[in-house]
Copies of this chain bind each other. A is one copy, B any other.
Amino acid sequence: MHSKNKTRYVILGLLSEGPLSGYEVKKLVTIRFSGFWSESYGQIYPELKKLEAGGLVTKTSTGNTRTRYVYSITGEGFAALRSWLQEPVEKELVRLEILLKLYFGSLIKPENLQGHIQNFRNEHLQYLNLLGRFETELRSITDEHENHPFVLMTILFGQKVNQAYLEWSDQVLELLKKRQR
């Protein structure tokens, strides 16, 4: 049985590109992994401690007056990260409340349900726009980093999926409109 907790690998992965503080890890996850991952301070700080205790990262104090600790990945850390990356991806469980509410949709007013779908559509349209900006930004960087093409592939994923969400929303809104007549 291997752990479900991926926080350690998220941290190690980000540190593989350079040293970071816990605060920076959190920020990077929020921005760069928006849409497919999230981490909270309550996960990150304790995990950094465990990683240091296990020798997978080292801690350096760079604070002058303000407390600040920067973590660097070690050889063992790199090995652990690579080993995890090589393992097959575990079956992910997705939970979509919108589909639950739709499934029981006959119990509420059609306008109410349409509102839910409309909100869903709006949110994902906005996210699609954000992804477009990410893509433009990334493509404008001529000095390509090693992971550049891989980052683009994750962006492409978001674009494909969110496009599918929009198409589905439109189709469902159409079906709901027809039902009202």
> Is the pair B156, A168 in contact by a Cβ cutoff of 8 Å?
yes
* A residues 98-125 in Cβ contact with B at 8 Å: 98-108, 112, 115-116, 119-120, 123
Chain A interface residue bracket vs B: 35 or more
Closest residue of B by beta carbon distance from A100: B37
Closest residue of B by beta carbon distance from A158: B99
- List the B side residues contacting A95 at CB < 8 Å: 6, 36-38, 92
CA distance A96 to B161 in the complex (A): 12
Does A171 lie at the interface of the complex (its beta carbon under 8 Å from any beta carbon of B)? yes
With A85-B107, A89-B101 given, name 8 new contacts (CB 8 A): A85-B112, A89-B119, A96-B157, A99-B157, A106-B146, A153-B172, A153-B175, A156-B171
Using CB atoms and an 8 Å cutoff, list the residues of chain A in contact with chain B: 6, 9-10, 13, 16, 32-33, 35-38, 81-82, 85-86, 88-108, 112, 115-116, 119-120, 123, 146-147, 149-151, 153-154, 156-157, 160-161, 163-165, 167-168, 171-172, 175, 179
Q: List 27 A-B contacts (CB under 8 A).
A: A6-B97, A6-B100, A10-B100, A16-B107, A33-B99, A35-B94, A36-B95, A36-B96, A37-B95, A81-B104, A81-B107, A85-B108, A89-B120, A91-B123, A92-B97, A94-B94, A96-B157, A102-B150, A102-B157, A103-B154, A149-B179, A156-B172, A157-B168, A157-B172, A160-B168, A160-B171, A161-B161
